[in-house]
Structure formats: structure tokens, C-alpha cells
Amino acid sequence: MRLERLNYDKIKIFLTTDDLRDRGLTKEDLWKDSLKVHQLFRDMMNEASVELGFEAHGPIAVEVYSLHAQGMVIIVTNSQETEESEDDFSDEYIEMQVKVDESFDIIFEFESFEALIQLSRYTYHHNIHDGVVIYYQDRYYLLLNDEQPVNIDDLVSILAEYGSPSTLTVHRLKEYGKILLKENAMAEIYHYFLEK
């Protein structure tokens, strides 16, 4: 489980499929209202409190993005309450609004182009030559489809060593970002920067 503070009242939690498996859950289980899911959410909020100082009190909004073969990204937003009354629920109570989305594309974000160059060493030698690279808001995004010559879980593990899964959609990136490499991105990067 990886946590990141997005701003004062919003955090992002990335759960890999291994994180879920360790807790005896699958991605499908998260859509159910079960004791294990409640315990997972409590664990996430406790870890967010310890690592980031994020305290969830009162109503919160939870956005869950299922990333194909990568796990899940959960965005938690703490709603601001202007006044408290005696009728407020106890601190143990959290009201959630849940929004769910699923992506079948593999989208990773990278802080530098150098990370993509280093990643291309692996992808080139494993016959992964396709992909699109887009520059958007000072980050580089690699878009891959899920039809690859290697196991998708293995590929996602390697991608996670160089970058982070993104919750942005393909449509948003293509509309607002600058397409740097439109096709065969990983082969092109390897060819121009590493091939001798």
C-alpha cells in the first residue's frame, strides 16, 4: 500500500493486487459491503493518519479507480464541516460517498523522461515495443494496452519500479496533453537513447 497526500484534505492510496491478496480480498470484493472491506478501509485510514497526518472525521468522499492488472487507486477527500452540533455522530462514524471507475488500459506516470529511457531497457528485451508517451502537467505518461507478450502482472510490477499508476483517463491525456511519441514509443525510446 502506497499513500500520497494530494492536498490538505485529500489523499491518494494505491493498493496492488498483492496488497489485496494478502488481506484475503479480490478487486471484486471491494464492491461488497463486508467486514474485510471495512477492516481494510480502517487500516488505510490508520496508516494515512500515522504517515501523512490525515484524519478522516465526518463525511468523506471516496473515489475508487480499478486499474486493469495494477490494483486500485483510492482517492479520499475529507469534507469540510463548518459547524458541529450536539447531534453529530461519534468520531468512529464516517459517512462515505463512493464513486467507482475502471480502466482497461495501462497508464503510468513518470517524473522524468530518464525513467522512461531506463524502463525501455526492460521493455525492449521483452518485445514490448508499443505505447504512447504524453507530456501533461510536468509529467510523462506511458499508455499501453493490455495485450502484451508478457504477463501483465509482471509488466505492471516493472512499471511500478520506474513510475506510478495514474488515475487520469486516456481521453483527458490525449485531449489536454502533448503527444510526444504516438506509436511504438518504447521501441523508439530504446532506439534513440540506448541502442548503439
151 phi/psi in degrees, rounded to 5: -60, 130
Return the domain boundaries, the chain.
2-103, 106-193
Q: Exposure pattern of 91-122 as b/e (b: 16+ CB <10 Å)?
A: eeebeeeeeeeebeebbbbbeeeebbbbbbeb
pLDDT band at 80 (very low <50, low <70, confident <90, very high): low
| CATH 3.30.70.1950 matches 106-193 | yes
Residue 184, CB half-sphere, CA atoms under 13 Å: how many?
Answer: 6
pLDDT at residue 177, as a whole number: 95
30 versus 163: the higher-pLDDT residue is 163
Task: Decide: 140 and 113 in contact? Cβ < 8 Å.
Answer: yes
Considering the chain, what percentage of its residues have pLDDT values greater than 70? 86
Strand order across the 94-103 sheet: 2-7, 10-15, 71-78, 58-67, 94-103
Cell 509488466 sits on residue: 155
pLDDT reported for residue 81: 54
List, as one string, the DSSP characters of the chain.
Answer: -EEEEEETTEEEEEE-HHHHHHTT--TGGGGS--HHHHHHHHHHHHHHHHHH-----EEEEEEEEEETTTEEEEEEEEPP-S---TTPPPTT-EEEEEEEEEE-SEEEEES-HHHHHHHHHHHHHTT----EEEEETTEEEEEE-S--SS-HHHHHHHHHHHSEE--S-HHHHHHHSEEEE-SSHHHHHHHHHT--
pTM for this structure? 0.60
pLDDT in tens, 89-147: 444 444 445 555 555 578 899 999 999 999 999 999 999 999 999 999 999 999 998 78
Q: Mean pLDDT for the chain?
A: 82
d(CA 147, CA 54): 38
Angle between helical axes of 152-162 and 113-125 (0-180°, round to 10): 150
